[in-house]
Amino acid sequence: MTIKTLTLLVALAMVEQAGRAPAERFFDALSTLCGKAFAGRIVANTPAQPNDAFEGQRLVIHVRTCTADRALVPFHVGEDRSRTFVITRLGDRLRFKHDHRHQDGSPDVFTMYGGESVAAGTSTRQEFPVDDESKALFTREKREVSNTNTWAMEIHPGRMLAYELSRPGRLFRVEFDLTKPVDAPPPPWGS
């Protein structure tokens, strides 16, 4: 293969990637991590929450299952394996849901909440404002403070993956080090 041919192939690949929606590129970057797990640390938790379940715990994210349109990403907090992020491709947008399970696999009352990206986002950051279904759940269960939640995921290939929750007066963010994969944790509850 000549240098000219190689240069042309690289340029064509860049044009193809540039023509894809940011959410598609984000999902593709996440999918490259499939099967891998990474340790994380809290980088923002304001204001501090009383009896915070995350502080002082080992935090591990595991990009466990990936298909062309969906990624299942368990988030382990110490020995608690109740959380799985469900990221679904919806054309040029993404849906982000939290699947919460009890140890016996049954769904928690707070499960399948989240939102869909309403803006294009970028290939490295996608934001998910709370959807109407989740607002109804939060209102029904007297957790109205969550009706203004926005969740975000951020990925910088080869460096960092982040999970973030924000709302007025609250910011929680965990960053996972992609340079140092860790052993895959046990399966999440309910899998």
Phi/psi of residue 105, nearest 5 degrees = 95, -10
What pLDDT was estimated at residue 65? 98
- pLDDT tens readout for residues 34-78: 999 999 999 999 998 888 999 999 999 999 999 999 999 999 999
Is 5 a domain residue? no
At 50 the pLDDT is 86
Is residue 2 a part of any domain in this protein?
no
- Give me the pLDDT at residue 51, please: 87
Tokens matching residue 28: 């593709």
Q: How many structural domains comprise the chain?
A: 1
How much is the pLDDT for 49?
A: 83
This prediction has a pTM of 0.89
Cβ neighbours for 186, distance < 8 A, ≥ 6 positions apart: 81
Answer whether residue 127 is part of any domain: yes
The 10 Å Cβ neighbour count of residue 62 is: 26
Which helix (DSSP H) or strand (DSSP E) does residue 177 occupy? strand 170-182
Question: Which domain covers residue 51, as residue numbers?
Answer: 21-182
How high is the pLDDT of residue 10? 40
What pLDDT shows up at residue 115?
Answer: 98
187 in a structural domain: no
> Does 154 fall in a domain?
yes
DSSP 10-71: HHHHHHHHHTS-HHHHHHHHHHTTTT-EEEEEEEEEESPPTT-SSTTS-EEEE--EE-SSEE
Regions in the chain scoring below 50 on pLDDT: 5-17
4, part of any domain:
no
Phi, psi angles (nearest 5°) of residue 41:
-145, 150
Which residue type sits at 93?
A: R
- Specify if 9 maps to a domain: no
Residue 89 lies in a domain: yes
What does the pLDDT read at residue 15?
Answer: 40
CATH of the domain at 122: 2.40.128
